[in-house]
Amino acid sequence: GAVVSQHPSRVICKSGTSVKIECRSLDFQATTMFWYRQFPKQSLMLMATSNEGSKATYEQGVEKDKFLINHASLTLSTLTVTSAHPEDSSFYICSASRLAGTSYNEQFFGPGTRLTVL
Amino acid sequence: AQSVSQHNHHVILSEAASLELGCNYSYGGTVNLFWYVQYPGQHLQLLLKYFSGDPLVKGIKGFEAEFIKSKFSFNLRKPSVQWSDTAEYFCAVKSGNTGKLIFGQGTTLQVKP
């Protein structure tokens, strides 16, 4: 149980286009989903926290208009990278937890999406 | 600001050697502590976690970690590593106030057969 999927696993796009990444909790309802960015050989950096039905909370330095997050249902959150540029190339990982983010609970991680912007 | 520091960036061991990966965090309040593993090409998986109680926690695959509050440390150990333990290991802290996970820089473990 507690499987999280991401789609697509890899995406290559041209500079200036927008890319949508989906994160799904397959066998549980996720009230909170998290989006991370991981640079090569570096740690995961939290970008934003999204609770179902409300606006996402972005970390300092993360542009809200650049990285649009939607958490419309208890099993789906999407991250849209708008007007992507080569510096947005990275590995994007989502995680999902069953309870509200401030309670003790486990985050289950998706496999990640490799974004390459040409 | 809260932070997590992993002392070893790249560790190379032979099979059957003992492993200890250091993790220190900076946060004065109540914390939940985690170790995650990322095998090559796979997603992050939880190895073990500490929430409260016995500071020595046992996880999957023979791993254990000890929470030492006075040292703000949560070091990961395994008595005898295997080639299949080759992976990236991340220490993470979840603060009681924010609920967010703060990850360390990660340690690449390479086990030679």
Cα angle for residues A96, A102, A108 (degrees, 5° grid): 20
Contact B105 A43 (CB under 8 A): yes
Q: How is residue B79 annotated by DSSP?
A: S
Contact B101 A104 (CB under 8 A): no
Residue A43, pLDDT > 70, answer yes
Which residues does chain A have within 8 Å of residue B44's beta carbon, measured at their own beta carbons? 44, 93, 95, 109
Contact A41 B90 (CB under 8 A): no
Interchain CB contact of B59 with A (< 8 Å): no
Q: Which tokens sit at B45?
A: 């998986």
Q: What gap in Å lies between CA A102 and CA A109, rounded to an integer?
A: 17
User: Which of the pair, A1 or B26, is modelled with greater confidence?
Assistant: B26
Q: What is the pLDDT tens value at each position of chain B, 113 positions in all?
A: 678 999 889 999 999 999 999 999 987 777 889 999 999 888 899 999 998 899 999 999 999 999 999 999 999 999 999 999 999 999 999 876 666 889 999 999 999 98
**Contact in structure between A86 and B84 (CB atoms under 8 Å):** no
Q: Which residue has the tokens 């200036």?
A: A16
Q: What gap in Å lies between CA B29 and CA B3, rounded to an integer?
A: 13
Interval A50-98: pLDDT, tens: 988 888 999 999 999 999 999 888 899 999 999 999 999 999 999 998 7
Q: Which of B91, B98, B79, B75 is nearest to A44 (CA)?
A: B91
Q: Which of B97, B101, B108 sits opposite A46 (nearest CB)?
A: B101
Q: Which residue has the tokens 């999902």?
A: A96
Q: Which tokens sit at A45?
A: 């950096």
Beta strands of B3-112 (E only): which ranges? 3-6, 10-14, 19-21, 23-26, 31-38, 45-50, 56-58, 64-68, 73-78, 87-95, 101-103, 107-112
Distance from the Cα of A86 to chain B's closest Cα (Å) equals 23
Interval B60-78: pLDDT, tens: 999 999 999 999 999 999 9
Chain A residues in contact with chain B using a Cβ-Cβ cutoff of 8 Å:
4, 34, 41-46, 49, 93, 95, 100-104, 106-107, 109-112
Q: What gap in Å lies between CA A33 and CA B44, rounded to an integer?
A: 15
The strand pairing partners of A6, in sequence order, are A23
Distance from the Cα of A44 to chain B's closest Cα (Å) equals 6
Number of inter-chain CB pairs under 8 A, A vs B: 48
